[in-house]
Structure 1
């Protein structure tokens, strides 16, 4: 457990959450537009009637994700289904995700091939099928990642974050389970339910959303910096924790297997020392993690800067 030091008075304007789960923010949803076909991404239309469900890939956040096959082409997709009777805050997240997916087109972002909004109120999003699951899945199935594997993972995520940040999109929930992997071991960013499009330069990201275990110190306590901070730097902090977790095999601020109360976790992140890396880790990797996990957001490297870090230069890219 990180040592807590220099504790100062802490002001939280929002109630403590009961769990580590996401809490939604409350932006108004986009107006729905009913459709039964969508672009496949290759110029051809995908009709909903051409899709057949194979099996359930997972549940969560008010919806079910199915593995589906196109009847004529046999192409596999993932279909996220959110029903009309789902909690209104979850539906707001879905509409926010839809808005962002419509704006993005990057090999490092899970691709959206179509959105079906039914007269019943159900919303279904047809997405790229990522057959290897998530980084969290791989961690639990195959064990910890080596430094060269992490360099490849980091490079792909950083390219995705650099793309998003250039579009003024803050993800706000980077963590192993939101980073999906396909059969070619390409890592892509997914799940934009609590993301935010920074429409104006004065917009803030003070809303308490995301998974608090991966939140940066300034998002826990925006008053510590007068509410003014680099909103994109929170994604970099989350990336650093994610990479460190993949390296050590457990959430890095806590001993393996420990699940503390929320206040303990908040104190560790805001006031504790940076998690230490095991003996044997390289100086370049240590430096890379330090650049991600600076307590002051202004001192964290940006996604573009991290792409030039010696840790990534040490392991040349194999992907385009």
Structure 2
């Protein structure tokens, strides 16, 4: 059971989601007085990807291809239903011991109005997540430095930005050979070895 900081929006989004790649909400309990809500969420017994990386080190490329494929599938589902996550990172991706990965933690997620493309934030977040899991640290910071709001704000606002290639959508990234041509059995086994 999880208490929510923004209960109404989070409960509304989670109660309408039905994807194998997004954490499922089994029940929503509204508190009658304070307006708080408790969410009964699906258990993913492998834990958060950042915890798995802390225990086992960097992810092998085969496992990372599986993580990317499943996270992209979850984001594609969300974007098709006009939901943008806005906080994709290793601490918001859950794994199960059977090799599944699910997008979780919708604390700042929003429904899109269609006037701009906020989905690019999710593509950026997943790209940084993939790199972090492959190398072992958040690449916009020196190795070993933990990201915090203040540290990230300074790095993003004041440091020189890396040159970025033309952006792609999650649907285009799902078709990328790194994901689309992966050996699914090998990738799932590599991920399972990390999580189990």
TM-score normalized by the length of structure 1? 0.53
Residues 13-32 of structure 1 aligned to structure 2 (within 5 Å):
none
**What residue ranges of structure 1 are gaps of 5+ in the alignment?**
1-78, 83-89, 205-229, 275-292
Task: Sort the Cα spacing of 1:313 and 1:119 in 2 relative to 1 into closer, same or farther, 3 A.
Answer: closer
Aligned length: 181
- Structure number with higher strand proportion: 1
Residue of 304, 313, 320 corresponding to 2:171: 304
CA-to-partner distance for each residue in 1:143-163, whole Å, 9 max, x for gaps? 101111110000000000110
User: Looking at both structures, which has the greater relative contact order when contacts are Cα pairs under 8 Å and sequence separation is at least 6?
Assistant: 2
In structure 1, the partner of 2:10 is 97
> How far has the Cα of 1:314 moved from its partner?
3.4
In structure 2, the partner of 1:241 is 128
Structure 1: how far apart are the matches of 2:29 and 2:89? 27
Q: RMSD of the alignment, in Å?
A: 1.8
In structure 1, the partner of 2:51 is 137
In structure 2, the partner of 1:171 is 85
TM-score normalized by the length of structure 2? 0.85
Bigger CA radius of gyration: 1
Residue of 134, 139, 161 corresponding to 1:272: 161
Structure 2: how far apart are the matches of 1:101 and 1:261? 28
List structure 1 segments (4+ residues) > 4 angstroms apart after TM superposition: none
CA-to-partner distance for each residue in 1:181-221, whole Å, 9 max, x for gaps? 122121100111111101x322x5xxxxxxxxxxxxxxxxx
CA-to-partner distance for each residue in 1:223-250, whole Å, 9 max, x for gaps? xxxxxxx321111011000000001101
> How far has the Cα of 1:267 moved from its partner?
2.9
CA-to-partner distance for each residue in 1:170-191, whole Å, 9 max, x for gaps? 1100000000112212110011
